[in-house]
Structure 1
Amino acid sequence: MKSIKPVIISGREVHPIIEGGKGVAVSNGRSAGAFAKAGCVGTFSGVNPDSYDEDGNPIPQVYKNKTRKERFEELIAYAIEGGIAQARIAYEGSDGRGRIHMNTLWEAGGTERVIHGVLEGAKGLIHGVTCGAGMPYKMAEIAAQYNVYYYPIVSSMRAFRALWKRSYSKHSALLGGVVYEDPWKAGGHNGLSNAERYDEPQDPYPRVAEIRKFMNSVGLNDVPIIMAGGVWYLRDWEEWLDNPEIGPVAFQFGSRPLLTQESPIPDSWKQRLLNLKEGDVTLNKYSPTGFYSSQLNNDFLRELGDRAARQVPFARKPTDELTGEVKVGARGRSIFVPADKQADVEGWIAAGYTEGMRTPDDTMIFVDPDRAQEILADQAGCMGCLSACAFSNWADNEENTTGRLADPRSFCIQKTLQDIAHGGSVENNLAFAGHNAFKFADDPLFQSGRNGQFPTVAQLVDQILTGN
């Protein structure tokens, strides 16, 4: 195993180990401070982070206003207050070592305002801002206002080249690194392009080498690339070390930190991760963001799949293609579906899936009355957590709408992520994880976790530095 050399991140020499930022409230100030104290980069999530009451308990993010726009303002206030709180915790826990970064999602609701609010309120506590889920052109300009480093998350050279030419070349001194996130292996939302198949993963090496070649062509030879997604043991990445085609490199760990003592996720979630098998994490496209995402194949995901499967094209009046008449709802209103699907629809209704819900694609899905009521309530309670939400049709624009029908095939992502992060069911909530999370089952470092004795972040870092 080659020696694992330090790199310069956000103006300081650190181990080439970066904690992956995981929102909502999954990577927090405590975990970030521990990584920094171990001489690495700790990352807390700036996406709906927790703030605390006088007794140190998380303050529930309850939305009291009646309109979406008013609740959107509540959301931003919660995020800024929580981000400042987590930055302080991280900084205090670091003992002045390592670096503290904040992770943000460009497509989250009010992201620009949140970044400004947190960086203003936590001056000197945050050394870098990581930003993905979209094309964060303005990130360089914002970082320059506060003299912090910025780290775009990309999944191709083309994406970084577009960011560089449009914006980043004007603020190159504060470009701390480029995060390459493998869109087939990383947990959470992934940056697959329309030209790439979700079921045909590509080797990250040539994709990262292509990024480095472009970076070198514009004078970014010494700016590190951060490999994210699919990183477990550094021994698997030995060919990347001291490699001129890759250049200075660091590695982001998203999944392994979940099973540390400092990780805030509930024990039920930790135990579930310890028992995963290969293939238990899958890519799907149910997210209201419109991005593919990697998550645990649990009851929550299966229900979304079943919901989408009970779907047919329909019309209110018969057409050449839609001739099968079906009576739907308490009033028995007629809809017309393909003749070869008529028996399927009638079977769904007979099985209790009596409520037809229209989608933006001129199809109808069938759910039971309780699920229909839940979907409608969640859509009505939208607080604008995304810049554009397919599920609720909220958009962070002047009209506050995407202009499309709300899509009942998706879900309220804010609701489910808040619930699982604060003790809710692992089976009945969205549970993000990287595709290598099945390796927890055989990783020697975590086996004592079956008895509740999880390693500390410091112990994890020591293990990573051995290559294992």
Structure 2
Amino acid sequence: MKSLNSIVMSGKEVLPLIEGGKGIAVSSGESSGAWAAAGGVATFSGVNADSYDENGQIIPQVYHGRTRRERHDELVAYGIQGGIAQAQIAHEISNGQGAIHMNVLWEMGGAERILHGVLEGARGLIDGITCGAGMPYRVAQIAADYQIHYYPIISSARAFRALWKRAYHKFADWLGGVVYEDPWLAGGHNGLSNSEDAMVPEDPYPRVASLRTLMNEMGLHNVPIIMAGGVWHIQDWEHWLDNPEIGPITFQFGTRPLLTKESPISDAWKKKLLTLKKGDVFLNKFSPTGFWSSAVRNEFLEELKGRSDRQVAFVTSPIGEHSEAFSFGARKREIYLTPADKANAEKWVAQGYTSGLKTPDSTMIFVEPEKMAEIRKDQVDCMGCLSQCSFSNWAEGETGNTGRKADPRSFCIQKTLQDVIHSENVDNNLMFAGHGAYRFATDPFYADGFVPTVKELIDRIMTGK
């Protein structure tokens, strides 16, 4: 295999290996500090990061505000406190090696406030910001204000063109790299556009080559592209190295660092990763963000699928094929269904799915009473963890809502991501992973359940494997 040469990123000479930022607390100061100490580019998650009390115990993120707005302010305060704490841990563990980045989601609640708060409170500890999930126009200005580099996460040349024209051309000196995240293979939320088919993956090579052509036109010949999503063995990407069509290239690993000794995920999660088969990670549209996302097939996702499957279109007065009256709930409210849908609804009620919940699309889903109570409570407890949320109808704007009905087909993403990282419950929570996670079970490096340190993993990757 061709040798992997060091590269300058965020003003530091580093290995061309980047740790993916991942979501809530999954990439911590401890794991990212170890990645930087091994000479790579570390990325801790700045999404509702953990903070600690004077005894080193994680501070539970409990909300006391009576209104969503008050709880949202608490969430922002937690986010700033946790981001600073993780930056300090990563900096200390890195021992001055590598580079340390913070990952944020542009569509997370309070993104700009949290960015300013963490970067102000951790000055000199963070070398760069990676940012995706939306169109992060303003991240360039924020990075320039703090004189650190920014790394937008995009999934097409078209998206980068829009970012460049609107904002990035003004702050070109602080553009550290462009993360191309494969929307069919990456874990977590994916940047699939309406013109792309979620079920028809495209080869990343021509898409990245197109991005490089665009960047060259903009004078960004020496700005590296970071390939993210689907990266496992570097030897699989050897034809990308020293390739003028691709240009300076580095590789981001999101899934493989999950299975390391320093990874903060539970033992149950690590054991689950070792059992996955091809197809166990799949794209779904249940996220309250509105984005597609990739997660491990488990009871949590199967329950969400069941909700959507038990769904009928309804009207409030008989019209056309919707001729059959159907009563539901304690008040026996009457709606009208097609004959076939009425038969299905009666079947679901007989199976115990006796509670009907209306969606914003003039449909109704059927759930068990306990699930309805859980959904209602989660919607009421919303703390505004997203800039706008389809599940609770929260939005950061002045009105405080999206203007649409809350959608019971989705879920509280803050609740489940906090629970999956802070408990052993991996079956009944959302568990993000890249589509290559099945390779843990077949890669001889992980034989007999071997879990490497971050340093051992990086040494392995540097061999091409």
- Tell me the TM-score normalized by structure 2: 0.99
Q: What secondary structure does 1:326 align onto?
A: strand
Structure 1 residue 444: deviation in Å?
2.1
Q: What secondary structure does 2:461 align onto?
A: helix
State the partner residue of 1:355. 355
State the partner residue of 1:258. 258
Q: 2: distance between equivalents of 1:310 and 1:408?
A: 12
State the partner residue of 1:323. 323
Letter in structure 2 aligned against 1:128: G
Letter in structure 2 aligned against 1:455: P
Q: 1: distance between equivalents of 2:257 and 2:188?
A: 15
Partner residue of 1:459 out of 448, 456, 465? 456
Q: 2: distance between equivalents of 1:131 and 1:71?
A: 24
Q: 1: distance between equivalents of 2:14 and 2:158?
A: 29
Query: For 1:272-421, what aligned pairs fall within 5 Å after superposition?
Result: 272-421=272-421
| CA deviation profile, 1:156-211 (whole Å, cap 9, x unmatched) | 00000110111001000110000000000000000000000000000000000001
- Count, aligned residues: 465
Tell me if structure 1 keeps the 8 A contact 2:269–2:424.
Answer: no
> In the alignment, is residue 212 of structure 1 matched against residue 212 of structure 2?
yes
Query: For 1:108-127, what aligned pairs fall within 5 Å after superposition?
Result: 108-127=108-127
Q: 2: distance between equivalents of 1:375 and 1:424?
A: 22
Q: 1: distance between equivalents of 2:114 and 2:160?
A: 23
State the partner residue of 2:2. 2
Q: 2: distance between equivalents of 1:367 and 1:286?
A: 16
Q: What secondary structure does 2:123 align onto?
A: coil
Q: 2: distance between equivalents of 1:354 and 1:309?
A: 15
Structure 1 residue 321: deviation in Å?
2.8
Structure 1 residue 122: deviation in Å?
0.1
Q: 2: distance between equivalents of 1:170 and 1:20?
A: 27
State the partner residue of 1:15. 15
State the partner residue of 2:145. 145
State the partner residue of 1:174. 174
Q: What secondary structure does 1:211 align onto?
A: helix
Structure 1 residue 12: deviation in Å?
1.1
Tell me if structure 2 keeps the 8 A contact 1:188–1:433.
Answer: yes
Letter in structure 2 aligned against 1:430: L
Structure 1 residue 23: deviation in Å?
1.2
| CA deviation profile, 1:244-265 (whole Å, cap 9, x unmatched) | 0000010000000001000000
Q: 2: distance between equivalents of 1:320 and 1:434?
A: 45
> In the alignment, is residue 436 of structure 1 matched against residue 436 of structure 2?
yes
Q: 1: distance between equivalents of 2:174 and 2:334?
A: 61
Unaligned runs of 5+ in 2: none
State the partner residue of 1:89. 89
Moved beyond 3 Å, runs of 4+:
none
Letter in structure 2 aligned against 1:459: E
Structure 1 residue 316: deviation in Å?
2.1
Q: 1: distance between equivalents of 2:163 and 2:376?
A: 38
Q: 2: distance between equivalents of 1:171 and 1:327?
A: 60
State the partner residue of 1:249. 249
Q: How much identity, in percent, do the aligned residues show?
A: 63
Structure 1 residue 424: deviation in Å?
4.1
Letter in structure 2 aligned against 1:443: D
Q: 1: distance between equivalents of 2:445 and 2:108?
A: 35
Q: 2: distance between equivalents of 1:263 and 1:445?
A: 17
Q: 1: distance between equivalents of 2:322 and 2:13?
A: 66
Structure 1 residues 397 and 423 mapped into 2: Cα distance closer, same or farther (>3 Å)?
A: same
Structure 1 residue 325: deviation in Å?
1.3
Structure 1 residue 447: deviation in Å?
2.5
State the partner residue of 2:268. 268
Q: What secondary structure does 2:435 align onto?
A: coil
Q: 2: distance between equivalents of 1:229 and 1:327?
A: 48
Letter in structure 1 aligned against 2:178: V
State the partner residue of 2:32. 32
| CA deviation profile, 1:398-448 (whole Å, cap 9, x unmatched) | 001000000000000000000000014111000000000000001222234
Q: 1: distance between equivalents of 2:244 and 2:428?
A: 46
Q: What secondary structure does 1:436 align onto?
A: helix
Q: 1: distance between equivalents of 2:437 and 2:52?
A: 30
State the partner residue of 1:50. 50
Letter in structure 2 aligned against 1:39: G
Query: For 1:145-164, what aligned pairs fall within 5 Å after superposition?
Result: 145-164=145-164
Q: 2: distance between equivalents of 1:173 and 1:330?
A: 63
Tell me if structure 2 keeps the 8 A contact 1:50–1:58.
Answer: yes
Q: 1: distance between equivalents of 2:108 and 2:319?
A: 41
Tell me if structure 1 keeps the 8 A contact 2:129–2:150.
Answer: yes
Q: 2: distance between equivalents of 1:187 and 1:333?
A: 42
Tell me if structure 2 keeps the 8 A contact 1:259–1:446.
Answer: no
Tell me if structure 2 keeps the 8 A contact 1:27–1:45.
Answer: yes
Tell me if structure 2 keeps the 8 A contact 1:307–1:367.
Answer: yes
Q: What secondary structure does 2:326 align onto?
A: strand
Q: 1: distance between equivalents of 2:393 and 2:82?
A: 26
Structure 1 residue 49: deviation in Å?
0.4
Q: 2: distance between equivalents of 1:99 and 1:329?
A: 57
Tell me if structure 2 keeps the 8 A contact 1:7–1:249.
Answer: no
